[in-house]
Structure 1
Amino acid sequence: MPILIGKQLKLLFKIAPTRALQKAFLLFCTPRKGQVTPDQMDFLDAAEDEVVAVDDLLLQTYRWKGSEETILLVHGWESNTHRWKGLIQVLQKHKYNIIAFDAPAHGYSSGNILNVPLYAECLKKVADLYRPNHIIGHSVGGMCTAFYQHTYQNPELDKLILLAPPSELSIIMNGYQKTLQLTDAFMNALDSYFKAQFGYSFEEFSIAKFSQKIKNSGLLIHDKYDDIAPYAAATAIDANWTNGTLMTTENYGHSLFYNEVDERIVDFLNTK
């Protein structure tokens, strides 16, 4: 199926290149899953908070009230707020005030597409409303968190925690090219299309590079054998993040659903 889609895009590129690029970009930004499943409903429904508008999008937010500092959680691609259930239960024991939201096209939020610049714009709206002290992001949510702070430089934020974030858009797009078997000419045109949309080429959109501008204290947790976001992303980010600390795990996978990870997060948050 991916090869067939790639052939269709290449044919369309010869006839109507702009339309082909638009379709390729939308395909890249369209999640296949991430909606709330029946087994997730009770946990999420009990915490539903405001619905926040960002242009024509409606974002579902959640709140677990606590008397301590506010933490904002940012989930990854084809996921939703339910992925944080275990960590939320740990953070509640420490009385943190916890906020989360479903990304566009995920969970209970509206929309059909998601990309990091759009996600960061939504994060800004939610952060402006709830004014968190700390943000924790997983995978693409970690990418979004770093890009958000690089772009908007929120002075109220103290600590950032990034769990298994990808770093280089160029590497992701190389994988996209291989999957659809797109030509170099097509990808060069798509690169130009992306830069016209967001102001960055694929090569320039680098969380490792963006981390050079992030002054916050940070914790980066990544598994050495992560098969979704390569561990090299973590070392590249760590090399550029002046106030960041890297914790390496082994065989914890991309999701990092382990008590040791939760404990390290809490320890980092509790350290003044």
Structure 2
Amino acid sequence: MKKVINRLLALSYGAYFNILALFSKKLVGEKAFTLFSSPRKGKVLPLQASFLKKAEDIMIEVGGKQIQTYSWAGTKETVLLLHGWESNSFRWRNLISFLSGENFAIVAFDAPAHGNSSGGIFNVPLYAECAQHIVKHYKPTFIIGHSVGGMTALYHQYIYPHNSIQKIVTIGSPSELSELMEYYQNLLGFNNKVLSALDDYFQAHFGFEIQDFSISQFVQKIQIEGLLVHDIEDPITPYHNSEKVYANWKNSKLISTRGLGHSMHQDNVNKQIIDFLKSKKRANFTA
């Protein structure tokens, strides 16, 4: 019943956008973008808070927003963790255990509108801007991102190439904004007038059109090493996203799993990530 209600609600938004597009292209673009960028969950739950309280926490202001950061001490390189949509830093609890066991220093933060960070809107350019402030503050050597967090890690490296980062790991991450918009359009059932209005909104506010935002294209300019981890049966982010990125990222390796889902908290995955972080730099990878 809940799925039926959610589906009807989505279609009602789509119908509203279709009508609004007849009167104001600018307004419908703004409203469609706002809905797309508004997470409904991801705040820290009581059970999650008990884990996060063990970390040192600092609030960092980015563009008028308060961004909640967490850090765990270690004697080795610093690893920055970027969670995905409607999540928070607690999602890294299993990997944090592995990283701490290897004495890595760890930094995580709640994205805008997630966890204990302020704000109501979330998007990749904003997330990347926050990540840049964290990178400048903590100077991490490695970044690990799950889902949209991985997409953000690569976009961040593309627009801020001169930094401390030496390796990036993405887990179940999307590549093409056009595919996300196609899914959004199909979910809500809005017409191409609304999609065109969204395209105009991206151009006006971010300087790129929907088709232009392509991680698989951006990575052609990324020189550092990368590890892509993706499940072939991922029900949230199709596997071909990482295939496309891997094909264009010269210094990357793709680990394909089957039956591990989208979250990928499994010990075997975490061990392979640790091995990658500890490995010596090589000119090229082979899968």
TM range (shorter): over 0.9
1:36, 1:45 → 2: CA distance? 11
- 2:164 is matched with 156
Separation of aligned partners in 2, 1:2 and 1:258: 33
Separation in 2, partners of 1:14, 1:45 = 50
The code of the aligned residue for 1:137 comes to: G
Count of matched residue positions in the alignment of Structure 1 and Structure 2: 272
The CA RMSD over aligned residues, in Å, is 0.9
In the alignment, the residues of structure 1 paired with residue 112 and residue 27 of structure 2 have an alpha-carbon distance, to the nearest angstrom, of 23
Q: Structure 2: 5+ residue runs without aligned partners?
A: 1-8, 281-287
Q: Structure 1: which 5+ residue stretches go unaligned?
A: none
> What is the identity percentage for the equivalent residue pairs of Structure 1 and Structure 2?
45
Which amino acid in 2 is paired with 1:245? K
Distance 1:41 1:163 in 2: 24
The residue type equivalent to 1:153 in the other structure is: P
Task: Tell me how far 1:154 sits from its aligned partner.
Answer: 3.1
Q: Which residue of the partner structure matches residue 226 of structure 1?
A: 234
Kept in 2, the 8 Å contact 1:138–1:164? The answer is yes
Preserved CA contact (<8 Å) 2:57 2:69: yes
Query: Does residue 186 in structure 1 map to residue 194 in structure 2?
Result: yes
One-letter code of the match for 1:82?
F
TM-score of the superposed pair, with normalisation by structure 1: 0.98
Q: Deviations over 1:173-228 (max 9, x none)?
A: 01111111111122112112112211211111111111111111111100001111
Residue aligning to 1:18? 26
Matches within 5 A, 1:1-80: 1-80=9-88
Q: Secondary structure at the match of 2:113?
A: coil
Deviation track 1:84-139 (CA, whole Å, cap 9, x = no partner) reads: 00000111011000000000000000000100000000000011000001000000
Rounded Cα–Cα distance in structure 1 between residues aligned with 2:16 and 2:165: 46
Deviations 1:220-245 (A, max 9, x none): 10000111111000110000000010
Match of 2:104 among 96, 109, 113: 96
Contact 1:48 1:60 in 2 (8 A): no
Q: What does 1:180-259 align with in structure 2 at a 5 Å threshold?
A: 180-259=188-267
Runs of 4+ aligned structure 1 residues displaced above 4 Å come to none
